[in-house]
A and B are shown apart, each in its own frame.
Chain A
Amino acid sequence: MSDLDLNQISNMQYDVLREIGNIGAGNATTALSQVSNWRIDMKVAKVELLEFKELSDIVGGAERIVVGILFTLEKDIDGMMMFMMDMPASRYLVNILLGNPQPDGVSEDFDFNEIELSALSEIGNIIAGAYLSSLSTLTNFTITSSIPYMAIDMAGAILSVPAIEFGKIGDKALLIETEFGDVQKTVNGYFILIPTLNSYTAILKSLGIIG
């Protein structure tokens, strides 16, 4: 067991997590641009430690409909990881991947067809893979992830799954918010990494943050 307390996370730990997010976002941009032949920019907007109560406010409320793509992690790190985006972001990325024209306004339509759903799941795969490779490069850990599990539902309900995993460690959840887009449009995606307590300690140890 470990005496690590997520409520006591330090500035240095933040910086490292932000860096993992930055490198991951960079990898994901390259990968997405390659499959879509489209120049997509991405940047890590912020890393935040939030109370469970506030968690869903950041995506526009607990009842906002979002896409959540979840992976379980194995090997040197156990836990789960989730990538979440709202409907405009999902539409935007699906259209890019499938080469469809982008609609003029903001689309809140969540009625995806089968091809679009599998494109979404592939986007999740690409983005999660990019973050994971950044994490495994920085830590020298071997991490394997499951197939993507996807759900489209209210943000609060989707977020309950990672929040519960975080709940075993502390009273707050760690959220990495990423902004991506092109010249015309930017949309937001949220990345949540939930290692088990032991794996979290292992990550910070391997990065030299705790002894």
Chain B
Amino acid sequence: MSKIIKVGMADANVCVAPDVITTLGLGSCVGIVLYDPVNKIAGLAHVMLPDSTKIINNSNKYKFADTAIDILIKDMMRIGVNRNNLVAKIAGGAQMFNFGNSSEMMRIGDRNVEATKEKLAQLGIRILAEDTGANYGRTIEFYSETGMLHIKAVGRELKII
């Protein structure tokens, strides 16, 4: 039997096959899945903000795209992940409210996605698939056995990437 491991907002966790790792109701936040397909180990971070260096109170490292990815990799290596095997799938970064004039504050979803991609590029981790942007919330489930990311949204069909 596989377990389902839940990850909350500004949080992260790891999972080993055959377990499933999930985060519910992603809005403007981004869900970042890192996966080692050889060892079948996955990590999932639910980040809220792009950049820890722009915020005074940055004690929770899982809150930011830049620091969360670093820590998640460390957490994963501790349970046997080979850093060179890592690939990524990302989802989220929606704009939940339709603001007419999109000020910097309102574009937070896009900025989270951009920051995530930048950080992964820096680390040389390839993004295999993404389902980002748009204006609706997503629940994501990653199956560490198959390496597939299932995306559920209100009134939409299940999407598998």
B18 to chain A, nearest CB (A): 23
In the complex, residue of chain B having the shortest beta-carbon distance to the beta carbon of A78: B105
Residues of B within 8 A of A156 (CB): 9, 24-27, 137, 139
Q: Do A153 and B9 contact each other (CB < 8 Å), given the known contacts A161-B97, A168-B55?
A: no
Please tell me if B57 contacts chain A, counting CB pairs below 8 Å.
yes
Residue from the list A53, A63, A154 in contact with B8, Cβ < 8 A? A53
**B-facing residues in A162-192 (Cβ within 8 Å):** 163-165, 167-171
Nearest to B24 among chain A residues (CB) is A62
Interface presence of A159 (CB below 8 A): yes
Segment 33-87 of B: residues with Cβ below 8 Å from A:
48-49, 55-57, 59-60, 63
> Whole-angstrom distance from the CB of B111 to the nearest CB of chain A?
10
Give the nearest-CB partner of B99 in chain A. A149
By the criterion CB–CB under 8 Å, are B9 and A157 in contact?
Answer: no
A5-B57, A153-B27, A170-B57 as given contacts; A160 in contact with B48, CB under 8 Å? yes
B90 at the interface (CB under 8 A from A): no
Given A159-B27, A160-B48, A161-B27, A171–B59 Cβ distance below 8 Å?
yes
Chain B interface: which size bin? Answer: 20 to 34
The CA of A64 and the CA of B8, in the complex, are separated in Å by 15
Q: Does B32 contact A (CB under 8 A)?
A: no
Cα separation A55 to B27 with both chains bound (whole Å): 14
Residue A61, interface by CB 8 Å: yes
| Chain B residues positioned under 8 Å from A154 (CB to CB) | 24-25, 27, 137, 139, 154
Tell me if A70 counts as interface (CB < 8 A to partner B).
yes
* CB–CB B60/A171 < 8 A: yes
The residue that B97 contacts in the complex, of A65, A149, A155, A167, with Cβ under 8 A, is: A149
The interface residues of chain A lying within 8 Å CB-to-CB of B10 are 52-53, 167, 171
Q: Is the CB of A157 within 8 A of B25?
A: yes
Residue A117 lies at the interface, judged by CB distance under 8 Å to chain B: no
Q: How far is the CA of A65 from the CA of B136 in the complex (A)?
A: 12
Assembly CA distance A112 to B150 (angstroms): 28
B21 at the interface (CB under 8 A from A): no
Is B27 a contact of A158 with CB atoms below 8 Å? yes
B96 within 8 Å of A (CB atoms)? yes
List residues of chain A with CB within 8 A of the CB of B59: 171
Measured CA separation A150–B57 after assembly (Å): 30
Interface centre among B27, B98, B135 (most CB of A within 10 A): B27
Contact A161 B96 (CB under 8 A): yes
Q: A151-B96, A154-B24, A156-B24 are in contact. Are A163 and B48 (CB under 8 A)?
A: yes
- Within the complex, what minimum Cβ distance (angstroms) separates A117 from chain B? 13
Nearest Cβ distance between residue A9 and chain B, in whole angstroms?
13
Would you call B138 an interface residue if the criterion is a C-beta within 8 Å of the partner chain's C-beta atoms?
yes
**Could you tell me which A residues sit within 8 Å of B by CB distance?**
1, 5, 7, 52-56, 61-63, 65, 68, 70, 72, 149-161, 163-165, 167-171
**Leading 8 A-B pairs by shortest Cβ distance:** A156-B25, A157-B137, A160-B27, A157-B27, A53-B8, A62-B25, A62-B24, A154-B25
